[in-house]
């Protein structure tokens, strides 16, 4: 594993993260349909009041391993669209 070359950025919790996840989750649900049993925000952005990296970690649960190929394709589309919004450090960002 390569050492991390850029600093980890921790920002104050943004209450808007929940709404952003709801939007991305609905878009993923629309793309994946019944393939996705659950779509969960599993990172620090999911915990109200917790400061963290402005990166949305999403877990998509599927019923069968035959649907695994759908996950990366959907995630890449949404990461590309979501990164500019979530990836910018907000006020009070701390560098570790």
pLDDT, tens digit (0-9, with 9 covering 90-100), for 8-25? 889 999 999 999 999 999
Q: Do 9 and 55 contact (CB within 8 A), yes or no?
A: no
Where residue 56 sits, what CATH number does that domain have? 3.30.460.10
Of 16 and 65, more confident = 16
Residue 92 placed within a domain: no
Instruction: Read off the pTM.
Output: 0.65
- Residue 78 is part of which domain span? 10-86
* C-alpha span between 76 and 25 (Å, rounded): 13
Residue 81 placed within a domain: yes
Residue 3 placed within a domain: no
Residue 96 placed within a domain: no
Residue 5 placed within a domain: no
Q: Where would I find the beta strands (DSSP E) of 18-92?
A: 36-41, 58-62
Q: Give the bridge partners for 38, in sequence order.
A: 61
Pairing mode, strands 58-62 and 94-95 = unpaired
pLDDT at 23: 93
Residue 71 placed within a domain: yes
């Amino acid at each position: 594993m390569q050492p991390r070359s850029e600093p980890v950025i921790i920002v104050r919790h943004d209450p808007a993260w929940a709404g952003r996840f709801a939007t991305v989750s609905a878009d993923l649900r629309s793309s994946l349909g019944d393939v996705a049993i659950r779509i969960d925000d599993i990172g620090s952005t999911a915990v109200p009041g917790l400061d963290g990296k402005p990166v949305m970690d999403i877990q998509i649960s599927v019923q069968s391993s035959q649907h695994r190929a759908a996950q990366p394709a959907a995630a890449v589309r949404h990461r590309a669209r979501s990164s500019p919004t979530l990836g910018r450090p907000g006020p009070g960002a701390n560098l570790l």
